[in-house]
Structure 1
């Protein structure tokens, strides 16, 4: 059964993504203040899409809160079909495109380099959402287990611990 609230939220988020992508093209040269306002107002959309993805995953995972095991192979097959193949296709398309239009040497077809580009989502900048989503899917058993621990412990205490971990992680990754 479709959840119309989630469908409507997806539509609003799609408008935000369109605003992100066309704002600089349409508004930046003529009205920088309006461009900045659109940038700020449309930034809700990408995090909202992540929340929607998590919500959809939680709704479809019947054993999420029980001790039932996740069939990781089937789980990943479904996610790789739905998100992995489009990500791979578009990344390779962009690599080919940049290989054709850029001077020689800017795009390498060395298998290790291609693997690096695909793993970090470097085929084209706007595909970052897809690679982060795939990383989330790959680490889903960890998040699933973490949710069980949070629910069985003190939820406020565990959320404070997660917040402290996030602060430490952000500091560590920005101050190596």
Structure 2
């Protein structure tokens, strides 16, 4: 499995497509959840939130891709820890802090004293609360901090993938079950430790450990995983369809039979998500593998330049789309005719948010210094397609691991 220290590893075209899908579904889940108020019927509200529930898989996909990309780049190499953290600071910490400041300036009243502003800024930056979507980046930062230890762990257990995955999965389900049926059900007084746990558990890397382990193991055994997916496409698709049906049925039973609150039925930290998400992850990986099936370093798959461009903007879109989403919710949706179907209005708001966010990031990608706000250097022209498509510079691909 290991590679020589200076061996270049083939570019993984699938990751570009997966990054784009994850980026677009993140925007979709936010616009779908925050626009649910335009429904005038209970049934309509429940249907819209059923879609929100299904789109929650994007968190798991994000964590999976983050671990996959990092392990793929660094497995079999000697990691220079100080250099690794230095690059991550410039690639992800700088944009994260910069955008946290922008969001706090945007939402903070003008008459707030500076000491209070800086105190709130410090707390919200540390906890990922400067804007509702920044927890994605905060979890990535946590993973980068522990990555040297995670890499060492992966090297130790790589020979026992099924044992590691089963233990990790069991821990994930046990954690989610306990959280969902005790903390979220109010069966534990939310004071002291439990207060902070309930408030920040979704922003803690431990809540998603299975997806990081799954991504790492998949990267190590990529040839075997890819071959299995391509050989058993019907099984992969069938599992995804069954998972969607079962997850939706579970939601319907919760809200229609047991009359549970929608907020509880659509919680991200629920046991069913640990079963549902891997099915969606490998369905999308199968889809991306088919797209890149006959690709090579000299002959990328069809449409590669377009998908690669979108992939390069994904990290920036995670950071900035909340601004555009606010515009869509404040000015676009209220101006759309109420006679139009809710689904059409939500779709238009999603298209508006996605297109404006991507366009903004494409522009930033081409501006020196400002490109750092979305975790990128202004790209240099490659001397050859082979050089462009090879992971010769881990920073470029690691920074956009999950994004």
Band of TM-score, shorter chain: 0.7 to 0.9
Say whether residues 1:126 and 2:139 are aligned partners.
no
- d(CA) in 2 for partners of 1:126 and 1:72? 28
Q: Does 1:97 align with 2:106?
A: yes
1:46, 1:85 → 2: CA distance? 22
Identify the residue that residue 52 of structure 2 maps to in structure 1: 39
Q: How many residue pairs were aligned?
A: 168
Distance in 1, matches of 2:148 and 2:171, equals: 19
1:159 to 2:172 alignment = no
Q: Corresponding residue for 1:75?
A: 84
CA distance in 1, matches of 2:130, 2:69: 27
What's 2:14 paired with? 5
> Which of structures 1 and 2 has the larger relative contact order (alpha carbons within 8 angstroms, sep 6+)?
2
Distance apart, 1:88 and its partner CA: 0.5
Q: 1: CA distance between counterparts of 2:99 and 2:18?
A: 25
Is this contact kept in 1: 2:32–2:48, CA < 8 A?
A: yes
Distance of 1:36 and 1:169 partners within structure 2? 24
Structure 1 window deviating more from structure 2 (4-13 vs 139-148): it is 4-13
1:125-149 deviation line (CA, Å, top 9, x unaligned) = 2100001100000110121122122
Of residues 102, 116, 126, the one that matches 1:108 is 116
Q: For residue 117 of structure 2, give the secondary structure of its aligned residue in structure 1.
A: coil
Per-residue CA deviations over 1:4-62 (Å, capped at 9, x if unaligned) read: 3221222222221121121134444223133112202221222212211211112211x
Instruction: Give the CA deviation at 1:168.
Output: 6.3
Q: CA separation in 1, counterparts of 2:31 and 2:86? A: 34
Map Cα deviations across residues 98-157 of structure 1 (whole Å, 9 max, x no partner). Answer: 2236x747x92345x5433222112122100001100000110121122122125x4433
What is the distance in 2 between the residues matched to 1:26 and 1:166?
31
Q: Please say if residues 70 and 141 of structure 1, whose CA atoms lie closer than 8 Å, have aligned partners that are also in contact.
A: yes
| Contact map agreement 1:84 1:134 (CA 8 A) in 2 | yes
Q: What residue in structure 2 maps to residue 22 of structure 1? A: 31
In structure 1, the gaps of 5 or more residues are none
The structure having more radius of gyration, on CA atoms, is 2
| Counterpart selection for 2:147 from 123, 140, 147 | 140
How far 1:166 sits from its partner (Å)?
4.2
Q: Is the Cα–Cα contact under 8 Å of residues 23 and 35 in structure 1 kept in the other structure?
A: yes
Q: TM-score, normalised by structure 2?
A: 0.37
> 32, 52, 57: which one pairs with 2:65?
52
Helix, strand or coil at the partner of 2:109: helix
Structure 1 residues 92, 165: closer, same or farther in 2, change over 3 A? same
Q: What TM-score, normalized by structure 1, do the two folds share?
A: 0.77
CA contact (8 A) 1:88 1:118 kept: yes
User: CA, structure 1 residues 42+109, in 2 after alignment: closer, same or farther (shift >3 Å)?
Assistant: same
Residue aligned with 1:58, SS: helix
